Amino acid sequence: GIQVEQSPPDLILQEGANSTLRCNFSDSVNNLQWFHQNPWGQLINLFYIPSGTKQNGRLSATTVATERYSLLYISSSQTTDSGVYFCAVDCGDDKIIFGKGTRLHILP
């Protein structure tokens, strides 16, 4: 089956810093999503981005489907950005496969 790899696994940054999270996938996908899981466990959908670039405030994402990767950019980090960021892909069989996540810790 498809493999989804996220890097880095852990990231500690000072408030105000910028960060780039990466998601590599091993096969063609129909859909790719980025999620933020907050400390209470809730999964927040950040981007639905099978290809191209999208921006929402301080967050943006780019997926290059032909090269099988996606990037999530977080600018001017805030402590509320802390949590785990997951990349998930849909291969067309109505299932989504999650990466192992990047645990982000923003220090005040």
Site residues (CB under 8 A) for another protein?
31, 33, 35, 41-43, 45, 48, 86, 88, 90, 94-101
Cβ atoms of 93 and 37 within 8 Å: the answer is no
Minimum Å gap between C-beta 51 and another protein is 13
Place of tokens 């989504």: 96
**CA within 13 Å, CB half, 4:** 22
Query: Among residues 65 and 96, whose Cβ is nearest to another protein?
Result: 96
Minimum Å gap between C-beta 76 and another protein is 26
Minimum Å gap between C-beta 16 and another protein is 28
Q: Please tell me the distance from the alpha carbon of residue 14 to that of residue 78, in angstroms, as a whole number.
A: 9
Query: Among residues 31 and 62, whose Cβ is nearest to another protein?
Result: 31
Query: Among residues 95 and 105, whose Cβ is nearest to another protein?
Result: 95
User: Which residue from 20, 35, 23, 29 is spatially nearest to 86, judged by alpha carbons?
Assistant: 35
